[in-house]
Amino acid sequence: MDHWYGAAVSPVASARVLFVLGAAAALVPSLAMWGFTVDDALISVRYAHNVATSLGYRFDPSGAPTDGVTPLPWPFLLAPFARGDALATLTAAKVLGTTAWTMAAAALGAHLARVAPAAMASKVAALVVLALAFPIGAWAASGMETGVATALATLAVVSLAQPRRAALLAGASAALRPEMLIWAVVLACGAGLGGAAAGGDGSARARRVAALVAIASVPFALCAAVRLMAFGRAAPLAVLAKPSDLGHGSVYAAAACVVVLLPILVCSAPVSLARAPREARIVALAFAAHVAAVALVGGDWMPYARLVVPVAPSLTVAFVASVPAASRASVVMRVVASLALGALLAARAAPAGRGVAGDRADLVARARPVLRGARVVAALDIGWVSAATDARLVDLAGLTDPAIAALPGGHTSKRVDASMLLDRGVDAVVVYSELRVVEARLVRTALFAERFEARETLPLGDRGAVYTVYRRRPPARE
């Protein structure tokens, strides 16, 4: 029996209330951030379109198969919606991510109702903080795989009492986000060591844990095996194209733990967490392992803590389970701090993301007539460009091009020169107004100035940013 300020609430009533609140905590922020997306979402859309139209797992219809999508299964999930316009497919991806996360959050709410003997107020507070963590909703509605990965990870935690199901769901999330493998393995180990099925001698327990770890690892291993057979390397191409370092990763992971709010509820009270039931400790330990993994892989260049988002909602379980072991003052302080920080971040950081999709759609519409007739287009931001033209694309970041990915330099500083563009038959180059390193290196060379000329500018939003389209000059007459 739950309690709300001393008044008893029946288990059925509390489950219904928290089910609805959980769904609302996911759906409302997702709809509020519906206008958010990132350029990479349209890269996956192009792969999905080629899969749907029987052209294979490739970025360019006439090019070789390439490993340009880190969540290898994602284009296959999008393929049923990907036969038509790229922006329509992006909308379908946004609906898929939002729907999956909303359903999982509803299940999370119902699960919190079963966490006893915490008061109903603490469960509601956890879901309110979850709702204020706007990056979770933003990424669910982004058109990326993050919403589905978040749903799978949340359902895995909700299913800890059924270890095989929990391990399988955790493993499925790692198939979409490879850096989640460590989280999935830790969660599987905890599920095997705890719960009603944890009896037996040491040997039986070890076999059970090993089996669950195997279940959690299989989806990741299958993706690695497919990559090795199809592309010649087990790791995603992005690892080569976007090298990073532990220093950047550590800063990213620390900042992400603040932005997603839920760690503040849990990690700021280690004593009460240590006294909490096993489920809470498993969830917290898996989260800590994931944060370490994110730091080790070097973090991410995308906004709103994308790599930490999938595992953040599970911390609501750890918080609610640890509340009985904490003082009321400690709980109130953590909740108030999280709510205040959440409101501040939502007011300051969320608005900038809400117009991204609209700005991209307008940019694509303006670019289509400008790029009409181009046969080979070079660009650093190839996602929106791929939605604007069917031309073959030269990816200056190397995300979809193994040859460029292997060049020295980082994500925006690959050592691509103008002669390489000419060798590849590039007849149009798209350059952002705030020149990144590779763009600056190209446009400031004499060879580029000799062979290409600026033809059109395409505004991006209303903040003064533009893309300039360079076209190849006609051959000089003898």
Least confident among 24-33, 166-175, 189-198, 416-425: 189-198
Q: Residues 94-111: pLDDT tens digits?
A: 999 999 999 999 999 999
What is the pLDDT, as a whole number, of residue 272?
82
d(CA 210, CA 204): 10
Average pLDDT score, the chain? 92
What is the pLDDT, as a whole number, of residue 15?
86
- Mean pLDDT of the region 157-170: 96
Show me where the domains of the chain are located: 2-353, 356-472
d(CA 372, CA 367): 8
Q: Is the pLDDT of residue 12 over 50?
A: yes
Q: Residues 334-383: pLDDT tens digits?
A: 999 999 999 999 999 999 999 999 999 999 999 999 999 999 999 999 99
Tokens representing 288? Answer: 């800590």
What is the pLDDT, as a whole number, of residue 246?
85
Q: Is the pLDDT of residue 196 over 70?
A: no
What is the pLDDT, as a whole number, of residue 477?
53
- What whole-number percentage of the chain has pLDDT above 70? 95
What is the pLDDT, as a whole number, of residue 7?
47
Torsion of CA 18, 24, 27, 30, to 10 degrees: -110
Going by their DSSP bridges, the two strands 428-432 and 465-472 should be labelled as antiparallel
Under the banding of pLDDT at 50, 70 and 90, the label for residue 168 is very high
- CA–CA distance from 453 to each of 124, 173, 222, 434, 443 (Å)? 59, 46, 47, 18, 10
Closest CA to 310 of 180, 470, 138: 180
Torsion of CA 445, 448, 450, 452, to 10 degrees: -150
Q: Is the pLDDT of residue 198 over 60?
A: no
Cis omega (within 30 of 0) on the bond before 29?
no
Q: Is the pLDDT of residue 6 over 70?
A: no
- Mean pLDDT of the region 37-52: 97
Tokens representing 337? Answer: 């701090």
Q: Residues 145-161: pLDDT tens digits?
A: 999 999 999 999 999 99
- What whole-number percentage of the chain has pLDDT above 90? 81
Q: Please give the residue that has the higher pLDDT: either 145 or 204.
A: 145
Under the banding of pLDDT at 50, 70 and 90, the label for residue 8 is low
Q: Is the pLDDT of residue 9 over 80?
A: no
Q: Rounded to the nearest 5°, which phi and psi values hold at 203?
A: -65, -45
Element (H, E) at 452: strand 452-460
Q: Residues 125-136: pLDDT tens digits?
A: 999 999 999 999
Least confident among 209-218, 423-432, 458-467: 458-467
Q: What per-residue string of b and e applies to 420-439 under the rule 16 or more CB within 10 Å gives b? A: bbeebebbbbbbbeebbebb
Q: Please give the residue that has the higher pLDDT: either 239 or 49.
A: 49
